[in-house]
Amino acid sequence: MLDVQFYGVLQQVAGTRSLQVDLKDDDITVDQVLTQLRQDVPALSAHLPRVACAQGESLVRRSDAVDPRQPLVLLPPVSGGRGPGQWRNT
Amino acid sequence: MLDVQFYGVLQQVAGTRSLQVDLKDDDITVDQVLTQLRQDVPALSAHLPRVACAQGESLVRRSDAVDPRQPLVLLPPVSGGRGPGQWRNT
Amino acid sequence: MQRITEAPLDVNTLLAETENDTCGAFVVFGGVVRNHHQGRGVAGMSYTAYGPMAEKVLEELEQETIQRFGVAECRIMHRIGKLEIGEASVLVAVRSAHRADSFEAGQYAIDTLKERLPVWKEDFYTDGSSGYQDGVPLETSEATETERGGRGHE
Amino acid sequence: MQRITEAPLDVNTLLAETENDTCGAFVVFGGVVRNHHQGRGVAGMSYTAYGPMAEKVLEELEQETIQRFGVAECRIMHRIGKLEIGEASVLVAVRSAHRADSFEAGQYAIDTLKERLPVWKEDFYTDGSSGYQDGVPLETSEATETERGGRGHE
């Protein structure tokens, strides 16, 4: 079982701060967990493309393996207020 | 008699905070006062091109008439730290 | 040194923590809860953060700002919990020898924070309703990865 | 409201005086006495001002900054007298709905102040000597009038 935690608007959408996802095996990617989540909580589907995932202090990519010993944390778009753009890609 | 006041480095150069200049008549310009000052205090000459003059709250131009009832104030270049220039003439 | 806190933020705390005799300039930016958002009256706000990552993001952003702009000091704090109108949600303090660097570095720090810090704000509107503000997807989301790919890894 | 003062400057005083519930951002700039100038050690500094004009210049600059950048608040204070290393000689506080305006307006205000405010600083060096820093001639000096004429009244 993997602990999945929700932040921001995702807590409203999921109706909870965390839930357990059943891992088929130990060698599973972030993407596979999200696929399982879409089935368990369909309301999350529309949000997932703009959600980033983290474990511990760090972001993890969709293709990364999940460490089953720590929660997978789902982070929706952050509070924003757009920068002026001048700093991008520089 | 007109009271002439010095600020900043001009106090050092003139060796005083203020002195009296004898006005020939009542209808005299800032420029004429400065000409008189050059004779009275030669050490000021080198500084005068970069000095601005004020009476009361306001700057006065070289060609302006002097109000003999209030001091003529001599203001050397201000503390500086140049702006980036982007604001000039805009 | 805690950067995410529930306690009210104070500018003088950040200035004291960044004292540096070689600096002739400081700039402090403050983000403040205002009484309106997109035409609606706002009564207050609640901030939540993903703590473990948020602390690290701010620490790294301070160092990045110092190195990128050659400033001497950079210190960032973000408040979480319920905030009233007029209270500061975030403070950025920068110190440098000359003033232009402090302005530039301060603006970079807050602009970048807004794209990287895992913090969310929920508005409480004067009509009694509430809602999370939409924002910027973090890196590693599908949206940012696709955008990045689409721009040809520029 | 006094803008030129011998009392130590405090950022929170300016922030309190500019409180405005419509604003989501503030920027405070501080100019601080630093321990070096053009390679020489500085032990302290003394500021003098031509008071009657200095108050008016700051008051007008606050209004000009507000109008030019559409910010809600601008407040400027300058200290005179003897200052120690690390003490603030000038503070500029700006508040606006959005942050970019506060940064831009704050930088304009301090850059313009440096060209217009009749204030002079005398450095006290660590070797026991002292000296007035050279600066920018004010408008109406021969130097600025000539420059203006030479630039074809642009």
Identify the CA nearest to B31 among candidates B48, B7, B12, B44. B48
Q: How far apart are CA B9 and CA C37, in angstroms?
A: 52
Pairing of strands C130-132, C119-125: antiparallel
Write the secondary structure of chain C as one string of H (helix), E (strand) and C (coil). Answer: CCCEECCCCCHHHHHHHCCCCCCCEEEEEEEECCCEECCEEEEEEEEEECHHHHHHHHHHHHHHHHHHHCCCEEEEEEECEEEECCCEEEEEEEEECCHHHHHHHHHHHHHHHHHHCCEEEEEEECCCCEEECCCECCCCCHHHHHHHHHCCCC
Output the pTM of the full model.
0.92
- pLDDT at position D76: 98
Instruction: Share the mean pLDDT of chain C.
Output: 93
CB D24 within 8 A of CB D97: yes
Average pLDDT estimate for C124-135 = 93
Average pLDDT estimate for A11-39 = 92
- Domain range for B57: 2-78
- Domain range for C99: 4-151
Average pLDDT estimate for C24-28 = 97
Query: Is position B30 within any domain?
Result: yes
Query: Is position B38 within any domain?
Result: yes
What CATH number should be reported for the domain holding residue B49? 3.10.20.30
Domain count, chain B: 1
* D100 contacts on A by Cβ (under 8 Å): 84
* A81 contacts on D by Cβ (under 8 Å): 98-99
Question: Measured between CB atoms, does A80 come within 8 Å of chain D?
Answer: no
Nearest to A75 among C56, C138, C142 (CB): C138
Domain count, chain C: 1
- pLDDT at position A25: 78
pLDDT digits (tens, 9 = 90+) for D99-124: 999 999 999 999 999 999 999 999 99
Which of C37-41, C53-57, D77-81 comes out lowest in average pLDDT? C37-41
pLDDT digits (tens, 9 = 90+) for C75-115: 999 999 999 999 999 999 999 999 999 999 999 999 999 99
pLDDT digits (tens, 9 = 90+) for D90-105: 999 999 999 999 999 9
Query: Is position A71 within any domain?
Result: yes
* D98 contacts on A by Cβ (under 8 Å): 81
Q: How many CB pairs under 8 A join C and D?
A: 89
Query: Is position A13 within any domain?
Result: yes
- pLDDT at position D133: 87
How close is the nearest chain A Cα to the Cα of D91, in Å? 26
Query: Is position A54 within any domain?
Result: yes
- pLDDT at position D149: 63
- pLDDT at position D29: 98
Q: How far apart are CA D58 and CA C143, in angstroms?
A: 48
What CATH number should be reported for the domain holding residue C40? 3.90.1170.40
Instruction: Share the mean pLDDT of chain B.
Output: 88
